[in-house]
Structure formats: C-alpha cells, structure tokens
Chains A and B, each alone.
Chain A
Amino acid sequence: MHKYPFINIMSIMSSDKIIQQLHENEKRVLKSFKSKKVLSADELSKITKLSKEAAEKAAEWGKQKNLISIKENVSEFLELTIEGHEYSKTGLPEKRLISVVSKGMDEIETLKNKIPQFSIGLVWINKNGWAEVKDGKILITKEGMESLSRKLDEEELLAKVSKNTKMSRDFKRDIVDKLIRRGLIRIRTEVNREYALTASGKKIESQIKLGKEIGQITVDVLKKGDWKKYGLRAYNISTPAAKIHPSKKHFMTQVIEYIRNVWTEMGFKEMSGPLLEVSFWNFDALYQPQDHPARDLADTFYMKIPSEGQLPEDEITQAVKATHENGWTCNSLGWQYSWNPNFAKKSVMRTHTTTLSVRTLAQLRKDVDKGALPAKYFSVGRVFRNEVLDWKHLAEFYQTDGIVVGEDVNFRHFLAYLKRYFAKLGFEKARFRPAYFPYTEMSTEIEVFHPEQKSWIELGGAGMFRPEVVKPLLGKDIPVLAWGPGLERLVMINYDIKNIRELYWNDLKQLREAKIWLG
C-alpha cells in the first residue's frame, strides 16, 4: 500500500517534528503507560477516555511511527453460514428426512416433492448408513432408527454455534471439519491486541504535552480564527480510513444494463415478451419436433395453471403444422409426423428467450415487403429450466438473444456480430465449433478465450435459423442470424464466483462489498 518507508523517515525526524504530527488521541495513548507497561485495548480506552475504537486507531497510528508496539493474539471462533443458519432453525435435512421416513413415508418420488433439501438429506442418510435405497424406497437401518432418538454431534454443534457467538473450535474435531466441509459453519477469526511503548516511544513520551491543538477544522475554529493562534496539526495521511459500502444496483442488473447498451450501440432494437409461454412459441415455431427430448417433462416447467394458451392466427399455425409434417413450401422434407395442436397449446415457463425472436419474426410478417428489412433485434431476459438447484444448476437464469433479418446477411456476418459482442465484454478471442440445435443450420457453439485462466470457455449456442423456422413465421425464406448465449458464466468469471447459486443469494454483505461492473 504505502510507497514511503515511514519508519525510516521517522527515525531521521526530530522529536519536535514527530510530536507536531501527533494527533491529540495519539498523545493521550502515548501518555497512558504510566502505571502499566502493557495495556489491552479496553485498558487503553479507559485510561485515555477515548472509545475503544478511537484508542485502537490512535495506537495503530503510533505503531506506524514506530512509537508503539502491538502484539496480536488471534483467536478463532465458529459461525454459521446461511445454510447453517437455516438448518439450525429447521433441523438437518438428513434428520428431517429420516424422521419422515420413520413415520412410514418411504417412496422417493413422494419424498422428493415433500421434503425441502431432499437430495442433500438422501446423500447424508446414505453416507451415515441410516438407510438403504431399494426399488425407489428408503429402508431405515438399525443405525437410522437409533439416530432418531439421539441428538447428533452435528446438531449439538450447530445449536451451540447459533447460541454462542464466541464458540471456540474446541469441539470434536472431525465434526467441526465435517460441518465446515458441508459449508454449514465457517471460522471467524478475532484479534486481541496488546500495546506497549517502543524505545522511541519512551524517548519522546516525556516531551509530549497534552494541550490544545487543532485537528478538525470546525465552524467555530473558523469563526474565532483559533487556527491562527494554535496552528493546524499535520495528519499522517497513511492512516487507514473507515470502510464504507455504498448502495448499488445488483451486479446482475449492472451486467444486464451493460449488455443492453452493447446491443443498442450496435443498432439492435430491444424485444420483450411473456415469461409464461405457449409451447408453440417455445418449441413448435422453432421447428422442434413434438417428440424432441428437449420437450421432456424433465427439463421444462409445464403449467397446471394456466394449462394451455392460444395458438396464433391460423395462417401461421397451419404453416408451422405443414412444415413439421411435410416441409410445407420450405423445400424441406419436414419431420414427417402428425403434428398435434394440443401439444403446441401447452403452457410452459419459457426455456429460452428465443421465443421473443420467433414472436418478432411473426410480427415482421406484415411489413416484410414494406421496407422493414434488414432489421436487428435483441433481448436480455430470464429463462427457466426444471432443475434441482445445486452449485452448477439454477432453475432460473439469463440469456441474451439476438437476430439479424435480411436478404443479404450471411454466415460471415453472423460470426462478426458475435465476435464484436464478446470483444465488448472483454473477450478479444472467440471461436466457433459446429454444433446442433433443431432450429439453426449452421449451428455453432461459441467459445471465448479467458486471458487470465488461459482457457476456452463455452458460452452457448448460435446459428442461422433454418428456413423451416423462418418461412412459416415471416412468410418468406430470408436469412436470419440468431444467437442466445447465457450471462451467468460471464458474471461468475468476472466476480470470481464458483457456486452459481451465489448469484441470487442476495447476501447483503457480499452485495455491499462487490465491485461495480466495469465491462
């Protein structure tokens, strides 16, 4: 931090000069060692009549001038993490699970939906040997039954830590380590300091006179002109200042706003639309066959309320149907199956913001021959996947979609837009591999080079919409460049976040301390 070797400067400074630079509080501290050679922070505060914080700060300044020595005793205490805090209230997931199972509810399928943190619970009852899984059922072992009647060491420790803010590490070591590994508790260190005078401190102590001097320039000082009489004390400008944390926009918002800017700078127009979609726009309009695995219940949130929505105007619906069934007038063979409008009506939480791109194509339909093209659109929006949350998976995340619609756009333009986008996000090098998506051809996977990690990072899919997507919606077969990379990985790299759930944890300490997005 400091470029100047203060201690050396001090050692060649005269005592007068040193005393002139002392703050009144420092002087009080230096004068405190009359009855005792070594003082604690509390004692220092009592003798100087300063607050503990102010006394410690003054002593710290003294240390930097080599007048006071500070000995630090570090003690370690345990504290709960967010997850630990939750379990200390609700109980450990394994204990909750085993207790429910012991009451006869043993079907995994049922439990999965009934018990919060079911999968964590299952892992631990397995590891602890409390139960076995057989034929989709959980069978309690003897150890499992026994665990019900006693308080586990883990529970005892959690309870202790939640009650006692000064809980030391003196507990069964393996249990402490285990809960640290599980991320339920962490170690908080606390430093106790002991203060004494150094040789130079002793030397100047007797020359210090406690008296009036001017530190803070107050209204009063200026009115009375006291500063002319007493002079102003020089400050030690290397003294650490208090830490403040301003309110900010959430870092996700900062990133999203930045990306929206990037696209508008490049002449793109923003699209928006519903979070809860009709399957038609999420899948069918994108030429995803109705038995495509991506439409499985496993990945997509289907809705109970509302269970279905409406198909668009007949002209578009019929064109999409015919394209799936026999290629319609797209010069394509189509998927060759019988398209079911009822599947297309099902409501879903949108699994990608490409829904907005296809809705936009359908809207452009009436203006295609009226000079609406070429046109460029973008969106940044939330999408949903039916996932169990863990450090790698979220059920909600962000995607940025873009399309360029124009008779003369081509694959080289496509590569250029994406390269420019990633360059604006700080990734100078981007490369493209062939990939597969049912609605694009060419399809590519985008990778960018991370200069610090020296590795290539996959950031999502892109391509040119198939004619089978474009023609039924737009009414004409016109090239459309399209992409939909994700945002979360970019943010995780920038903020050095390893656990994807941290993005939406909203830990206020973390948010207050996070740097602002610099692009």
Chain B
Amino acid sequence: MPVININRNDFCRLIGHEIPMKTIEERIPMLGVGWEGTEGEEFSIEVFPNRPDMLSVEGLARAFSSFMNIERGLREYKAEPAEEFLIVVQPKVMNVRPFIVSCVVKNVDLSDDLIRSVIQMQEKLHVTHCRKRKKAAIGIYDLEKISFPLTYTTEKRTFKYVPLEEKQEMSLQEILEKLPKGKDYAWILEGMNEYPILLDSRGKTLSFIPILNADENKIDNKTKNLFIEVTGTDEKTVTEVLNIIISTFGDRGAKMHKVKIKYPDTGIIYTPNTSPKMMSLEPKYVNKILGLNLRNYEIIEYLQRMGHDAVEINKENIEVTIPIYRTDIMHAMDIVEDVAIAFGYENFEAVIPNISTIGEENPLEVFASRLRSLMVGHELQEVFTFILTNKKNLFNKMNVKETEIAETANPKTEEYNVVRNWLLPSLIEILERNQHHEYPQNIFEVGDVVILNPYTDTGTETKKRLALAMCHSKTNFAEIKSIVESMMKNLGINNYKIEEAEHKSFVAGRCAKIGIDSIELGVFGEINPVVLENWKLEMPVSTAEIDIDLLQKLI
C-alpha cells in the first residue's frame, strides 16, 4: 500500500493550527491511516486503498482537520462555467481508451510544497486507484502553452513528437521501446493498432496517452494556470480521480473552470461535475450495527467530523451529503463506519453478547489429534512441514514414476511449485537435513495432501495423512510393522489385513500394504537404499503412510 511523506509545517499551515508531532502520531492511526514514522519535520503515512483522497498533504490535512474538530463539515468545490475550453473526442479513440474528463485550474501558486505534493499524489494515484495507469491516467499542462479546441484521437505508431525532457522528435514506437516510461507502460497499449493522442488546435501534441506528455507544454515554477485531463477505460474512476485532484487545488485556493467535452455519439458534457453525492441514513441502522444509542444530532456531528454534511429529515432519516473526493462510499455501511471512526474505536465498550451456541470440533481434527498423541506415546517426534514442494522430491528422489498432481502456474521459486500428493517425501527431507543430530530420529507428521479429483468443485480433494519414519541403525520392517499394528489395535481395529505390496520407494519383499476388507489404508516397509542414496542418507529408514480420512470413516 502506498506510503506518502508529509512535511509537518506545510500540513499545519493547511489546517491553520499548530499541531505537535506527538498529537499527529497518536491521532492519525485512529482516523484510519497507517503511521510509518518521522524524520525531523517530515512524517510518513500509509494510505489505505479506500481513501485515495488522502494521498496528498492537502487531502490528509482536510480529513485530519475535520476529525480533530477544527473545521468540520462539507468542503464544496465549484467550477466556473466556461465555453472556451473544448475537447473533441474522435470516434476512433472510443475503442481504445474511451473516457476523458478535464478541468482548467487558474490562479495557482505553484510553490515547491504544492509541486511536490501534486507530483507525489499523481504518482501514487497512478499506482493505486488508476491501476498502474490502465484504468485512468492524469495529465497536467501549462494552460498558456495550449491552443483550444483540443482533439482526443489516435495516431499510428510512426507518429512523431518531442516527448517530455527530450530534445528531438521520436515516434510513438520509439518511445515505447526506448524511454523508461514507454517501457514501463507499453503493456497497456498492447494489441492496439493506433495509440491515444491529445492534440491542440495547431496540431501540436500535448500527450501520448497514457505514456508521456510533450516537452513543449510542461509546467514550471512560472506557471499560473493549469489544464488537467484524466483519461481511462473506466468512467467512474476517471471522474473520481479528477475530483480528488481538483479538491487538492481547491484547498490551495485555486479557481476551477469547466471544460466542454464533445463525444461522437452521446453529445456534450461539462466536467468536472462538482455536485456532491447524497445518501440517506437511518439512525436506527447506525445504532444497531454499532451497538450504540446515539441521538440524531450526535450522528450528524460525527458525520461532520468525517467531512460530510448531514441534516435530519425526520426522526427516522438523516440525509448525508458526501464530499466529491470520497470514492469509497457505496453503501450506508460505509457511512456507519465513518460514524464509528469519528466516535473513536477506542471509545467502544466491548461486550460479549447473550448468545448461546454449542462449540464443536471437526471430528477429523479430533481424530488427528488423538493419533498424534498415540504416536508421541510411541516415542516419535512430530514434525511440521510445507505442503508445497517440487516434483524432484515427490517422484525422482523417491524412485517412483511421475503422476499428474496439482501444480502452480506462477511460482517464485522452483523449489515450491507443486502441491504434495503424499507425505513421506516431506519426512525423508527432514531426515536428510538433520543428519548432524543425535540418533535415533523417529518422526511422524499428520498433514494434508492434495489429490486431483475432477468430481469436486475445486477439481481436487484435500486429504489428511499420517506418515511415520524410523531412522536409526537398527530399524527394519519388523519395527515399523509393530508400530502400525499397535496403532490399529489401539484404535480397536483387529480385522485389518497386511499383504505384500510392490512400491519402488521400498525394498522389494519388505513392503506391505494394510487395509480393511477391500479398502487400502496405506503402505509401510523399509525404504529402498536407492532412495536413501538419492537423499544422501546414510542411515536406514523404515516408514509408513496411512490415509486417516479413510481410517476415521472405518471406525
């Protein structure tokens, strides 16, 4: 999640109050922002994905000021009507990146603080809410260097202009292949024949969207008036992002003007749309969910502490006006949460409800636990291993043929790229790793394996197994057999059958399967020296692996 850095002095200037670092550190987490730490007058915070409006110092100061009861209630942002700023959207861009919203921002004092904040916000918004510029991307330009009307269109990859911070013209193709920004974001344009471009009335390129602006119209510290556009593939997101940006400039005292956008089919719209969202809230619902008994005026005050406005329509209804920069409110529950945050999570009195229910463990887990106790009674130490492993461990090293098993598609390491379908290899691996420790090493595990099964909804079955391994100089078939038989007898099973079995992991003639009637429960015996050699083990091992899902069902 994104971390942003804030200068405390700038933060306090925006709030209009001196707030000590200690207070900020104590209170910010209770507003729903992660505290990362301080360095001198700077502090860092982690902004959660539901509140992209706090990705700038302006947004954070705005929220904090209300929360601390310094300036509560709704902040409104107005954009002056204007006809002179027109963007014409060409039909061919509609298949590629169909949405554009825009705003003209005048009278901006581009101080270092603001430039820093805007760049940081733009960057973090791009990564998070804009999904790495795919869903939305922001462009900011010097208004004075642009001639209206603009055209939002597409151009071929041979189209050329001088990109930001470059001296010479480059083709779109070259930009994608050579410049860092081009390489980073080329994936967004994959499969397109033509790329989105924003041109001004003189045919000059403003931007290769969503990759890189032109050098000519970049902002500098003399810039007073800005042109801002947000393009993207999702109408909701571009609108939200534009609203977050203009709130930021609005808090710095800039004046907003509307931009007229002419779409090929749906006609003309004006952006930004600065009318706030309304939502109605039942106080009864708030109190039910939170377990509180708040009066309507209290709920209204708490909502104002979160930057909303609210009025009581009648006893049963409060009408909430939600600021334009809040993108996360989609259900009344989101407003209830705001009330809870303003009330303070630390102020809730915890209470166990008067609900009577009967506790119940999963019978298979209970059985597994009993088997573990039984194995410990046989002086075996339990081990606890990973479920993910690799084919080499499961098949090659165990001297058995590869079968189809559950396999990951995108592992970060080849060591862990399949899901184990039997348990023994995990135990042998533990023995291999512990050769420098004292013997005997008699170990067991009750663990899960995953078996493919096309008849279930996941295409697999998660099964519990018990595996034992006796490893010391005198272990043999007789030893493992007596443990397996002891286990069966302790479970009250006397009608089990032991038959000779063939299994390449075991010594031929020293391997048996155990079962009841026609149901096979597992296999045991002496491990084949071929396997021991594969694992570089120089100590004999006898082992067993038992299906305990089945075993439990038979009891």
- A residues sitting closer than 8 Å to B (CB atoms) are 79-80, 82, 85-86, 89, 112-114, 116, 118, 246-250, 252-253, 257, 260, 263-278, 291, 293, 297, 301-310, 312, 327, 330-337, 347, 349, 374-376, 382, 384, 386-389, 395-396, 404, 406, 408-413, 415-417, 419-420, 431-436, 441-444, 464, 466-468, 479, 503-509, 511-512
Contact between A509 and B32 (Cβ–Cβ < 8 Å)? no
Interface: B94 (CB within 8 A): no
Chain A residues, CB < 8 A from B404: 305
Closest to B287 in A: A410
How far does the Cβ of B319 sit from chain A's closest Cβ, in whole Å? 15
Complex partner residue of B407 from A304, A330, A419, A466, CB under 8 angstroms = A304
Chain B residues, CB < 8 A from A406: 353, 355
Complex partner residue of B408 from A250, A266, A349, A404, CB under 8 angstroms = A349
Contact between B434 and A441 (Cβ–Cβ < 8 Å)? no
How far does the Cβ of B193 sit from chain A's closest Cβ, in whole Å? 23
How far does the Cβ of A186 sit from chain B's closest Cβ, in whole Å? 12
Contact-residue size bin, chain B (C-beta under 8 Å from the other chain): 35 or more
Cα of A413 to Cα of B289 in the assembled complex, Å: 10
Given contacts A85-B436, A265-B359, A275-B419, contact A301 B408 (CB under 8 A): yes
**Majority SS at the chain A contact face:** mixed
How far does the Cβ of B78 sit from chain A's closest Cβ, in whole Å? 25
Given contacts A270-B365, A508-B443, contact A116 B414 (CB under 8 A): yes
Interface: B502 (CB within 8 A): no
Chain B residues, CB < 8 A from A269: 357-360
How far does the Cβ of B437 sit from chain A's closest Cβ, in whole Å? 5
Given contacts A278-B457, A412-B351, A431-B346, contact A113 B236 (CB under 8 A): no
Contact between A436 and B50 (Cβ–Cβ < 8 Å)? yes
Interface: B93 (CB within 8 A): no
Contact between A248 and B376 (Cβ–Cβ < 8 Å)? yes
Cα of A249 to Cα of B459 in the assembled complex, Å: 32
Chain B residues, CB < 8 A from A275: 387, 419, 448, 450, 462
Cα of A466 to Cα of B330 in the assembled complex, Å: 11
Contact with A along B487-518 (1 / 0, CB 8 A): 00000000000000000000000000000000
Closest to A135 in B: B183
Contact between B381 and A511 (Cβ–Cβ < 8 Å)? yes
Contact between A415 and B419 (Cβ–Cβ < 8 Å)? no
Chain B residues, CB < 8 A from A349: 388, 408, 419
Closest to A337 in B: B234
Chain B residues, CB < 8 A from A386: 408, 410-412
Closest to A389 in B: B413
Closest to B408 in A: A301
Given contacts A305-B452, A416-B350, A436-B48, contact A267 B356 (CB under 8 A): yes
Closest to A80 in B: B436
Chain B residues, CB < 8 A from A467: 331, 333
Complex partner residue of B437 from A266, A335, A504, A507, CB under 8 angstroms = A507
Complex partner residue of A264 from B360, B376, B443, CB under 8 angstroms = B360
Contact between B30 and A89 (Cβ–Cβ < 8 Å)? no
A-B contact pairs, 10 of them (CB 8 A): A249-B376, A250-B381, A305-B405, A396-B388, A411-B348, A412-B291, A419-B350, A443-B337, A508-B430, A508-B441
Complex partner residue of A504 from B332, B379, B385, CB under 8 angstroms = B385
Cα of A415 to Cα of B289 in the assembled complex, Å: 13
Closest to B377 in A: A247
Cα of A273 to Cα of B456 in the assembled complex, Å: 12
Cα of A317 to Cα of B454 in the assembled complex, Å: 20
Cα of A386 to Cα of B413 in the assembled complex, Å: 9
Chain B residues, CB < 8 A from A82: 433
Complex partner residue of B409 from A277, A303, A375, CB under 8 angstroms = A303
How far does the Cβ of B361 sit from chain A's closest Cβ, in whole Å? 5
Cα of A514 to Cα of B450 in the assembled complex, Å: 30
Interface: B70 (CB within 8 A): no
Counting chain A CB atoms within 10 Å of each CB, which of B380, B430, B457 scores highest? B457
Closest to B330 in A: A333
Chain A residues, CB < 8 A from B353: 404, 406, 408-410, 413, 416
How far does the Cβ of B382 sit from chain A's closest Cβ, in whole Å? 4
Chain A residues, CB < 8 A from B407: 303-305
Closest to B426 in A: A506
Cα of A459 to Cα of B452 in the assembled complex, Å: 34
Complex partner residue of A257 from B351, B369, B442, CB under 8 angstroms = B369
Interface: B170 (CB within 8 A): no
Contact between B460 and A306 (Cβ–Cβ < 8 Å)? yes
Chain B residues, CB < 8 A from A466: 331, 333
Contact between B408 and A303 (Cβ–Cβ < 8 Å)? yes
Chain A residues, CB < 8 A from B384: 250, 252-253, 503-504, 506
Chain A residues, CB < 8 A from B419: 275-276, 349
In order of increasing CB-CB distance, the 3 nearest A-B pairs are: A434-B32, A410-B291, A306-B459
**Which B residues from 129 to 168 make CB contacts under 8 A with A?**
131, 135
Contact between A468 and B331 (Cβ–Cβ < 8 Å)? yes
How far does the Cβ of B381 sit from chain A's closest Cβ, in whole Å? 5
Contact between A434 and B31 (Cβ–Cβ < 8 Å)? yes
Cα of A275 to Cα of B31 in the assembled complex, Å: 36
Contact between B348 and A435 (Cβ–Cβ < 8 Å)? no
Chain A residues, CB < 8 A from B435: 85
Contact between B289 and A479 (Cβ–Cβ < 8 Å)? yes
